[in-house]
Structure 1
Amino acid sequence: MGSSFLLRLVLTLGLSVLSVAAAALDKPSGPVVLTVTGKVSQKNAADGARFDMAMLEKLPQHSFTTRTPWYPEPMTFSGPLLRDVLKAAGAQGRQLTAFALNDYKTSVPVEDAYRYDVIVARLLNGQPMSVREKGPLFIIYPFDDLPELRTETHYGRSAWQLKTLQVE
Structure 2
Amino acid sequence: MLTHIAKTTLSLALALVLTVPVSAKDIPAPTGVPILTISGEIETTNDGDALVLDADTFAALGTVSIETSTIWTEGVNTFEGVSLKTLVDLVGAESGKLLASAINDYTVEIPVSDAVENGPIIAYRSNGEGMSVRDKGPLWIIYPYDQSADYRTEVIYSRSIWQLDRIEFVR
Q: d(CA) in 2 for partners of 1:157 and 1:107?
A: 7
Q: How does 1:8-157 map to 2 (within 5 A)?
A: 23-114=25-116, 116-157=118-159
Instruction: Indicate how the Cα distance of structure 1 residues 29 and 92 shifts in structure 2: closer, same or farther if over 3 A, else same.
Output: farther
Kindly provide the CA deviation profile for residues 113-156 of structure 1, in whole angstroms up to 9, marking residues without a partner as x: 12652111010001100000000000110000011110010000
Partner of 1:42: helix, strand, or coil?
coil
After superposition, the CA RMSD in angstroms is: 1.7
Which residue in the other structure is 2:3 paired with? none
Q: d(CA) in 1 for partners of 2:26 and 2:126?
A: 30
Kindly provide the CA deviation profile for residues 5-46 of structure 1, in whole angstroms up to 9, marking residues without a partner as x: xxxxxxxxxxxxxxx866243111111100111001111112
Gaps of 5+ in 1: 1-19
Instruction: Indicate how the Cα distance of structure 1 residues 99 and 75 shifts in structure 2: closer, same or farther if over 3 A, else same.
Output: same
Q: d(CA) in 2 for partners of 1:162 and 1:129?
A: 11
Gaps of 5+ in 2: 1-21
Deviates more, 1:29-38 or 1:42-51: 42-51
Q: d(CA) in 1 for partners of 2:128 and 2:23?
A: 30
How many residue pairs match? The answer is 149
Which residue in the other structure is 2:19 paired with? none
Q: d(CA) in 2 for partners of 1:92 and 1:64?
A: 24
Q: d(CA) in 1 for partners of 2:76 and 2:58?
A: 24
Give the structure-1-normalised TM-score: 0.82
Letter aligned with residue 75 of structure 1: N
4+ residue stretches of structure 1 with deviation over 4 A? none
C-alpha contact 2:93 2:112 (8 A) present in aligned 1: no
Instruction: Indicate how the Cα distance of structure 1 residues 146 and 108 shifts in structure 2: closer, same or farther if over 3 A, else same.
Output: same
Instruction: Indicate how the Cα distance of structure 1 residues 85 and 79 shifts in structure 2: closer, same or farther if over 3 A, else same.
Output: same
Instruction: Indicate how the Cα distance of structure 1 residues 84 and 27 shifts in structure 2: closer, same or farther if over 3 A, else same.
Output: same
